Amino acid sequence: MADHPTLDPENWADLRQNAHEALDLALDHMAGRSGAPVWQGPTRRVRAAFTDALPGEGTEIRAIADRIASDILPHDVGNTHPAFFGWVHGSGTPAGLVPEMFGAAMNANLGGRDHAANLVEHQVIGWCREMFGFPGDAGGLIVSGTSVATLIALKAARDKAAGLHLRDTGLKRHDGEFVGYASIEAHSCIARAFDILGLGRDALRAIPVDANFRMDTKILRAMIEADRAASRHPFAVIGSAGTVNVGAIDPLAELADIAQENDLWFHVDGAFGASVVLNAALGPLVRGIERADSLAFDFHKWMHVNYDAGFVLMRDAEDQRRAFAERPDYLLGAERGLAAGNPWFCEYGPELSRGFRALKVWFHLLHFGTHRIGAMIGRNCEQARLLRDRVVAHPQLALLAPVGLNITCFRFDPGRTSDADLDALNAEIVIQLQERGLAAPSTTRIDGRLAIRVNLTNHRTRDRDLEDLVENVLSIGGELTAGG
Ligand SMILES: Cc1ncc(COP(=O)(O)O)c(C=O)c1O
């Protein structure tokens, strides 16, 4: 027993017992997840259970674990279920519980200093270089997700283009407008990064796409020229490797050429699509990605590391360090001792305190290996085409976009109905699929029309889950339209 009060257990045997039981509850949850509804929204009782006042006194672990099991676990998002197809969610793994335990046991801060956890992140950075064919001195950082990775990448791009004095003077002292380019299908996190960086969302030019939802490079070239003629400063072109709506991949090699010819930073948003490099047959789809100045992607999406873990990969690590480095007196490095291990990770991004996300990424890649993860990615693409074929074959279903990767957008269309009614009908079908716990697709708009959007970044999905989805869409659509 400690000789003064601490937050450590008075009885380690009790804690050990409680922790083992909690681990079993967590594993039971994952093992039984596919047998439960895809989604059960929190009930009124559950919502009320989270309105208690701030606790002055503590509660036993077992009682809290029971509450977690009854009030939280059953009401999850559903992305560990095989029939979850919404937005872009990875499906995680039960093995992912293991590194979380060790990470919590170490309670490491990877902002800097000289300790083994940093070696793990350095190894992950090296593996990312290898994965994407980046040079041996490229750098990077593990972050929460692609949104933050994008922000870091575009800050490095902005500071390089405008000059580092901008870090002191701010944009207001800079004459001329900095502009960047992405397709109209690019994810909103890019425009948000422009906003946060003080460039303004209008400075992100939205380039139209071709019939396959890929950026139209002719228009891109014309817009760069027009901006130059108007004395604006083009500084970055952003390609998507897997757009959020339909999974389109911009012509990355051509974008790399255009960036090079125009002296622009080339950033790639590969949130989920970049992961195809792990599949030998699909990898060539993202040819040109290896020429990017920066790449943002997620481990928590199509690679299935448990949330959250994203990554920013930088061709020139110094561009990233120059955009973020701050070493005040109280963070000075040293040649030896704990303050060694320079440069510190805090010099490469906005966070000083950084948890040990690297451990779960490292563990996941080590445990599953890239071949197995790549095979799951390949199967999801086959499944997206299987669903497409079912849709095309049925007279009451309409395909709304070509299937290039892992996303199938379609809708129920019984005919004799206006576009507005079809939008409302399909939105209702999706809600009912979710509320009945049958499946969880999401919706989007394709060419203005509301689509049932089925995103396959799920290693648990079986072909029969997609057959069931088609049946359920048809039967709910039939119920909703019965009697006109
Ligand atoms: C293409 C694309 N880019 C960026 C993001 C943002 O990623 P995150 O949610 O990890 O910040 C997403 C999320 O789905 C995405 O699909």
Reported as a single tens digit per residue, the pLDDT across 52-104 is 999 999 999 999 999 999 999 999 999 999 999 999 999 999 999 999 999 99
Looking at residues 312-317, what average pLDDT do you find?
A: 98
- Whether omega for the bond prior to residue 308 falls within 30 degrees of 0, making it cis, is yes
Res 125 pLDDT > 90: yes
Question: At a CB cut-off of 8 Å and minimum separation 6, what does 456 contact?
Answer: 85, 380, 381, 383, 384, 406, 407, 408
How far is ligand 1, taken at its centre, from the CA of residue 235, in Å?
22
Q: What percent of the chain has pLDDT over 90?
A: 96
Q: What is the mean pLDDT of the chain?
A: 97
Quote the pLDDT of residue 258: 98
The number of residues in the chain equals 484
Write out pLDDT tens, residues 26-60. Answer: 999 999 999 999 999 999 999 999 999 999 999 99
Q: What confidence tier does 173 reach under pLDDT thresholds 50, 70, 90?
A: low
Res 172 pLDDT > 90: no
Quote the pLDDT of residue 174: 65
Q: What percent of the chain has pLDDT over 70?
A: 99
Quote the pLDDT of residue 64: 98
Quote the pLDDT of residue 419: 93
Please choose from 91, 143, 146, 238 the residue to mutate so as to test ligand 1's pocket, defined by most ligand atoms within 8 A of CB. Answer: 146
Q: What confidence tier does 1 reach under pLDDT thresholds 50, 70, 90?
A: low
How far is ligand 1, taken at its centre, from the CA of residue 446, in Å?
18
Which pairing describes strands 265-269 and 294-298: parallel, antiparallel, or unpaired? parallel
Which residues' Cβ are closer than 6 Å to ligand 1?
88, 145-147, 187, 189, 240, 242-244, 269, 271-272, 298, 310
Quote the pLDDT of residue 175: 67
Quote the pLDDT of residue 2: 60
- Whether omega for the bond prior to residue 441 falls within 30 degrees of 0, making it cis, is no
How far is residue 166's CA from residue 164's CA, in Å, rounded to a whole number?
A: 5
Res 483 pLDDT > 90: no
What's the token pair of residue 339? 């303050």
Write out pLDDT tens, residues 195-241. Answer: 999 999 999 999 999 999 999 999 999 999 999 999 999 999 999 99
Closest CA relative to residue 29, chosen from 61, 84, 68, 83: 68
Nearest CA to ligand 1 atom 13: 88
Q: How many CA atoms lie within 13 A of 272 on its CB side?
A: 28
Q: Map residue 277 onto helix, strand or coil.
A: helix
Write out the DSSP string of 101-155: HHHHHHT--TTSSS-HHHHHHHHHHHHHHHHHT--TT-EEEEES-HHHHHHHHHH
Please choose from 88, 240, 252, 458 the residue to mutate so as to test ligand 1's pocket, defined by most ligand atoms within 8 A of CB. Answer: 88
How far is residue 270's CA from residue 3's CA, in Å, rounded to a whole number?
A: 53
Write out pLDDT tens, residues 436-466. Answer: 999 999 999 999 999 999 999 999 999 999 9
Question: At a CB cut-off of 8 Å and minimum separation 6, what does 240 contact?
Answer: 182, 183, 185, 186, 187, 215, 248, 249, 250, 268, 269, 270, 273
Looking at residues 122-126, what average pLDDT do you find?
A: 98
Q: Map residue 264 onto helix, strand or coil.
A: coil
Instruction: Map tokens 């095979």 to a residue.
Output: 375
Question: At a CB cut-off of 8 Å and minimum separation 6, what does 447 contact?
Answer: 400
Please choose from 244, 249, 289 the residue to mutate so as to test ligand 1's pocket, defined by most ligand atoms within 8 A of CB. Answer: 244
CB 40 within 8 A of CB 437: yes
Res 374 pLDDT > 80: yes
Write out pLDDT tens, residues 387-421. Answer: 999 999 999 999 999 999 999 999 999 998 899 99
How far is residue 82's CA from residue 238's CA, in Å, rounded to a whole number?
A: 33
